[in-house]
Amino acid sequence: MLKTTDIIDEKEKILHQKCKEASFPLDKEDINLINNSIEYLRLSQDEDKAEELGLRAGMGLAFPQLGKLKRIFVISYKTEEGNFIEYTVINPKIISYSNELVYVEEGEGCLSVNREVEGIIPRHARITVGFYDTKGNYIEERVREEISVAFQHEIDHLDGILFTDRIDKKNPFKNMDKMRSI
């Protein structure tokens, strides 16, 4: 099982490198990393388990955060009903996006950024993404709101961009009045 210490800290240069496309079939190591990442995210969203295992809560994890420069990430989002919406995303490309911009009201977080960060990141409220699943099947998915933000955040990781890079240093809440908070 993954531990919080397996996740690379923002100071590491690898997080600012662009990832290479993954090739199919995926190797066993990649499949194991995908499964372990989903398990970590699920457990991290259960307060008791997270405390017991010392996990930081998260809903997305990209391969560069685990030291692999491959265009792969997973999302595991716990709904209010307690179900999980999960994605394994390989070689994603944003096909289209809404003009409407949103930001996460309490601020975005990242399992690689272990500190409080002030500011907002403009994100598209809805995006359509093309990607492959673990078997190499092509999927197009329209995602919205929190899932859209998570996809954009994780795609940034694959391009060597941290959410902190997207915050305006001089005016961290710039254009906040022109966006909707979620």
The CB density around residue 40, as the number of other CB atoms within 10 Å, is: 26
In this prediction, residue 158 has a pLDDT band, given cuts at 50, 70 and 90, of very high
pLDDT value of position 4: 86
Q: Any idea where the domains of the chain sit in the sequence? A: 4-181
Residue 1 has pLDDT above 90, yes or no: no
The catalytic residues are 154
**Secondary structure of residue 157 in the 3-state scheme:** helix
The predicted-structure confidence for 2-34, as pLDDT tens digits, reads as follows 988 899 999 999 999 999 999 999 999 999 999
Q: Which fold has domain 4-181?
A: Peptide Deformylase (3.90.45)
The predicted-structure confidence for 100-146, as pLDDT tens digits, reads as follows 999 999 999 999 999 999 999 999 999 999 999 999 999 999 999 99
pTM of the model: 0.96
d(CA 85, CA 169): 34
Average pLDDT, the chain: 96
